[in-house]
């Protein structure tokens, strides 16, 4: 009888030495993408630009990322990482360079908006390593020592949380202690180095078309079947996975709602901290909830769950929606702290199950694009949430904004229950076994 909790599952992850290279590269790229929005606002406001201008530029970066990044991932799935990442990274770094020079030389404000658009070409650093891991595991390249996919998604989720937790703080610290452009400059250098390392790690790069539309794997040595798949992707007119997969659209909505919730939650937390006269309270709440999420994500990867994947998705979506829905009851800082910590315990498992469900619902050759679309939902929500939260805070205070955040969180279980039959039909239940 297998153990319900197996701490040894991470040994299989750590034994894959070749993964150290692409995971390290992706971590450098993650740091830049997670600091991009808050780093832009910090840089511009410290340089004397208005909060309105800084917010608009940051929102334009988020909008550009939402519109362009999934297309970049689609090209990556079709042509391979090493053929697309170089030029996409150069366009991204080019836009960042123009913005940094504009700030340093106090150039025209319109140039900041022009520079924000190419910054959305950044390849998605959450999707790239997950696609490589899935390719290595599904094609049997790691043999019997291959880690479990659920453990892999948990491991990558921990890396996401670590970058999400520390990169904004690093960006702000560099900008405030050295020069306003220092934070994004360091992030941009890290992103460029990570991109170079990623494209040099050719042995783990997924072969374009490695999985069929039914999710079957290629044999390790390719053969005629592999040539057929490569021939399939020669048709560059294939539709976006967002248009062809109902599950991807559902996952997009689920991450959009979570992103909008966090956009309101972060803004409202800062506002409440200012209302009580203790600005440090906001950082304490956000750091504590991030640590709780990271630890729970690590623990979740040890669990041996036998429930079908679609049931796991429904269960975790209902749970996190109810937990964060309790934001409607927040009236005091103590209540905020309790609700944020309890909700954070389900944040990492929620994202892990979303990624696993995405992997179960799309063919391997479309996974990079599918995960990017899912993440794009969160990006879109994060761009909208602060605007809604800020409006309500100015109108009636932080607690009123928390009410809206709670309502948005409660929409998560509503969506997943409405589409329960679709999820049961389209998610391959035993694909992670």
Structural tokens at position 255: 């991450």
Q: In angstroms, rounded to a whole number, what is the distance separating the alpha carbons of residues 16 and 364?
A: 20
In the chain, where the domains are located: 20-206, 239-433
Lowest mean pLDDT among 51-55, 118-122, 134-138, 315-319: 51-55
CB atoms within 10 A of CB 14: 11
Per-residue pLDDT of 158-211, as tens digits, reads 888 788 777 877 887 888 889 999 999 999 999 999 999 999 999 999 998 886
The secondary structure element, H or E, covering residue 9 is helix 9-15
Same fold flag, 20-206 and 239-433: yes
Structural tokens at position 288: 């504590």
Exposed e or buried b for every residue in 205-220, given b needs 16+ CB within 10 A? bbbbbbbbeebebbee
Residue with tokens 């006269």: 277
Distances (CA, A) of 103 to 229, 327, 386: 47, 38, 24
HSE-up (13 A, CA, CB side) for residue 144: 0
Per-residue pLDDT at 408 exceeds 80: yes
**Burial zone of 222 (CB within 10 Å; 0-12 exposed, 13-18 middle, 19+ buried):** middle
Strand, helix or coil at 430? coil
pLDDT at 103: 94
CATH of region 239-433, choose from 3.40.50.300, 3.40.605.10, 3.20.20.70, 1.20.1250.20: 1.20.1250.20
pLDDT at 117: 94
Structural tokens at position 292: 């709780």
Per-residue pLDDT at 237 exceeds 60: no
Rounded to 5°, angle at Cα 352 from 345 and 18: 125
CATH of region 20-206, choose from 3.40.50.300, 3.50.50.60, 1.20.5.510, 1.20.1250.20: 1.20.1250.20
Contact 280, 144 (CB under 8 A): no
Q: What is the pTM of this model?
A: 0.81
pLDDT at 139: 87
Strands (E) across 46-159 are located at none
pLDDT at 365: 84
Contact 47, 176 (CB under 8 A): no
Per-residue pLDDT of 201-224, as tens digits, reads 999 999 988 864 434 444 333 333
Quote the mean pLDDT of the chain: 85
């Amino acid at each position: 009888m297998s153990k319900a909790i197996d701490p040894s599952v991470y040994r299989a992850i750590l034994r894959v030495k070749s993964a150290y290279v692409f995971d390290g590269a992706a971590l450098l790229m993650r740091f830049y993408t997670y600091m991009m929005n808050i780093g832009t606002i910090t840089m511009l406001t410290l340089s004397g630009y208005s909060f309105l201008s800084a917010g608009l530029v940051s929102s334009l970066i988020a909008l550009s990322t939402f519109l362009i990044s999934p297309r970049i991932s689609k090209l990556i799935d079709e042509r391979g990482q090493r053929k697309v990442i170089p030029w996409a990274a150069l366009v991204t770094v080019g836009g960042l360079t123009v913005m940094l020079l504009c700030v340093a030389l106090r150039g025209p404000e319109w140039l900041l908006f022009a520079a924000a658009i190419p910054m959305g070409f950044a390849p998605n650093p959450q999707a790239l390593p997950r696609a490589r891991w899935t390719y290595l595991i599904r094609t049997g390249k790691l043999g019997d020592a291959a880690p479990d996919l659920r453990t892999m998604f948990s491991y990558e989720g921990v890396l996401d949380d670590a970058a999400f937790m520390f990169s904004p703080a690093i960006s702000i610290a560099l900008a405030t202690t050295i020069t306003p452009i220092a934070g994004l400059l360091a992030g941009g250098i890290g992103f460029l180095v990570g991109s170079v390392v990623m494209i040099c790690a050719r042995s783990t790069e997924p072969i374009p078309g490695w999985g069929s539309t039914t999710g079957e794997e290629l044999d390790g040595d390719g053969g005629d079947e592999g040539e057929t798949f490569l021939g399939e992707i020669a048709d560059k007119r294939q539709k976006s996975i967002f248009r062809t997969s109902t599950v991807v659209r559902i996952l997009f909505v689920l991450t959009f709602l979570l992103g909008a919730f966090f956009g309101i939650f972060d803004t409202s937390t800062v506002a409440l901290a200012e209302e009580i006269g203790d600005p440090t309270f906001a950082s304490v709440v956000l750091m504590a909830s991030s640590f709780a999420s990271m630890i729970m994500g690590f623990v979740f990867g040890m669990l041996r769950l036998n429930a079908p994947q679609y049931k796991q998705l429904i269960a975790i979506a209902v749970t996190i929606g109810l937990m964060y829905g309790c934001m409607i009851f927040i009236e005091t800082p103590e209540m905020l702290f309790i609700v944020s910590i309890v909700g954070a315990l389900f944040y990492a498992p929620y994202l892990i199950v979303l990624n696993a469900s995405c992997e179960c619902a799309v063919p391997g050759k479309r996974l990079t694009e599918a995960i990017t679309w899912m993440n794009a939902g969160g990006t879109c929500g994060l761009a909208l949430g602060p605007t809604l939260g800020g409006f309500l805070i100015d109108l009636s205070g932080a607690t009123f904004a928390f009410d809206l955040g709670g309502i948005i969180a409660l929409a998560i279980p509503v969506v997943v229950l409405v589409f329960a039959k679709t999820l049961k039909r389209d998610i391959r239940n035993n694909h992670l076994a």
